[in-house]
């Protein structure tokens, strides 16, 4: 979502070359569209949990009760938005036969791509923004942040 700009009247997508640490030849390979879905879900996670980081709650700089309430709302927002996105995506893409029709097959691929993206982000953050690594680690380790909402699949 860092490559989406709001102009005041419209949204513009920029910087579509993919992960800059990967060679161009690898970024040009065709991959499952589920990889893009996982990337979008990771973007939702970053949007939510960088809010916590900016509020200082990951560093313990705000009052515990306020941090807890904010974290609960952000988790709810992240899971709700992710569920709505995947549900809408599946409704749109399923007739095209581009992703597995079986919910469990979709889930296995999605979980693998989601974990792959989060692990990539840990390395990226360690190399470029070490202060942000907690957000990507949280995407791997925090059970409430893992996308496991069965009803949307």
Q: Would the pLDDT of 148 be above 70?
A: no
The pLDDT value given to residue 84 = 92
Question: Which has more confidence, 9 or 4?
Answer: 9
pLDDT confidence of 150, banded at 50, 70, 90?
A: very low
Classify residue 42 as exposed, middle or buried by CB count within 10 Å of its CB (0-12, 13-18, 19+): buried
CB 82 within 8 A of CB 41: yes
Total residues belonging to the chain: 153
Task: State pLDDT tens for residues 35-90.
Answer: 888 888 988 888 888 877 666 655 555 566 677 788 888 889 988 998 899 999 99
At 103, which helix (H) or strand (E)? Answer: helix 103-128
pTM beyond 0.75: the answer is: no
Domain layout of the chain by residue ranges: 32-152
CATH of domain 32-152: 3.90.1200.10
Cβ-in-10-Å burial (0-12, 13-18, 19+) of 124 comes to middle
Please say if the pLDDT value at position 146 is more than 60.
no
């Amino acid at each position: 979502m860092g490559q989406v700009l709001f102009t005041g009247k419209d949204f513009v997508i920029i910087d579509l070359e993919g992960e800059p640490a990967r060679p161009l030849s690898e970024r040009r390979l065709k991959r499952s569209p589920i990889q893009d879905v996982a990337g979008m879900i990771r973007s939702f996670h970053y949007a939510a949990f960088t809010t916590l980081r900016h509020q200082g709650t990951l560093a313990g700089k705000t009052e515990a009760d306020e941090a807890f309430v904010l974290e609960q709302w952000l988790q709810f927002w992240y899971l709700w938005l992710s569920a709505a996105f995947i549900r809408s995506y599946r409704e749109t893409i399923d007739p095209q036969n581009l992703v597995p029709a079986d919910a469990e097959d979709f889930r296995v691929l999605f979980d693998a791509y989601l974990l792959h993206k989060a692990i990539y982000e840990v390395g990226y953050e360690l190399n470029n923004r070490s202060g942000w690594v907690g957000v990507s680690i949280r995407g791997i380790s925090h059970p409430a942040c893992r996308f496991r909402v069965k009803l949307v699949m």
